[in-house]
Amino acid sequence: MKTMAVDAMQLLAEQRERARRATWSFFDGELSKMRWRRVLAPTENLMVMCFAPLPDMSDGDTARVGIGGGCRLAKLGEEWASAKTEAEADEAAAISHAAVAEAAKTGSVPTLFPSLPWGEIHPFSEDDLGRCEVERVSNDQVLVCFEKGSPAMISCRLAFLGADLEFGPELHAGPGRLASVAATNGGRGFGVCIQAATTASGSVSCRWGEVSAGEGNMRWTEDQAMEFVFE
C-alpha cells in the first residue's frame, strides 16, 4: 500500500512537471530568456542590443547557465534604411494577423521591414549579473553599467562600435544597487547613481566620470558625489 502511494505521488509530480514545461515552452526563445535587455540606436544606421544572461555556456565539464551579459551590433545598410516609405509602413501596420500568417508560409512578408542584421554576441561580463543599464555616449560609443556578484558591486565598461564591437576595461563604482546612468557634457562625461544596499528605500549617491577624448578611457572625477535621501 505504501509503495502504491509513493508511485502515485511520483506520477502526480511527473504530470505536474510535464504540464509546467508545456505551459512555458512557448517562452523558451532567445529573447524571452533574457532577464533584461536594452536596445539603442547611436545613429540612424547603427543599433546596439545589450542583454543578460548570455546563452548557455560551458567551462570544461561544468555547465554555466543563466549568467553573464553581452551586446550585439546591427549595421543597417541602404537596403534596410530605404526598404519602406512612410506609406508602405502604414500599410504594413494595417496588415491583419491572418494575412501575415498566410504570407509567412511562403517565407516572405514583403510589406514588413526586413530583420535586423544582428552580429555576433560580445560578452562584457561572465559574472552573475543583476540590473544593467546602457547609455549612448557618442555615435560610436555606448556605456554599459551593471551589478555583478553578491553582494552586488557596480562596474561600467565603454563599448566601442567600430568594425566590430569591443569593450574597454572595467571601471568600478562600488557596492550597492544600480539606480541610473546618464551621459553628460556631450558624451565627454557620465554619471552613475547607486542606491545603498543596506537601506530599504533609500539613500542614493551619484558619482561623475569623464571619457578621455580620442582614447576612450574612463575615470572618476574628483567632484564630490551628490547624496539624496528618500523617506
C-beta neighbour count of 122 within 10 angstroms: 15
Query: Is 99:109 a contact under the CB 8 Å cutoff?
Result: no
H or E element at residue 57: strand 57-59
The Cα–Cα gap between 173 and 206 comes to: 10
101 residue type, one letter: A
pLDDT at 22: 47
For 6-33, how does the pLDDT look when each residue is reduced to its tens digit (9 = 90+)?
Answer: 555 666 666 565 554 444 444 455 666 7
H or E element at residue 91: helix 86-93
The Cα–Cα gap between 141 and 167 comes to: 10
The Cα–Cα gap between 219 and 178 comes to: 18
For 64-95, how does the pLDDT look when each residue is reduced to its tens digit (9 = 90+)?
Answer: 556 889 999 998 875 555 545 555 555 555 55
Of residues 37 and 25, more confidence is placed in 37
The Cα–Cα gap between 155 and 23 comes to: 37
For 180-208, how does the pLDDT look when each residue is reduced to its tens digit (9 = 90+)?
Answer: 899 988 888 999 998 887 656 568 889 99
The Cα–Cα gap between 142 and 123 comes to: 14
pTM above 0.75? no
Residue 99: which residues within 8 A CB-CB, separation 6 or more? none
Query: Is 117:74 a contact under the CB 8 Å cutoff?
Result: yes
Set of cell numbers at residue 115: 530583420
The Cα–Cα gap between 107 and 67 comes to: 34
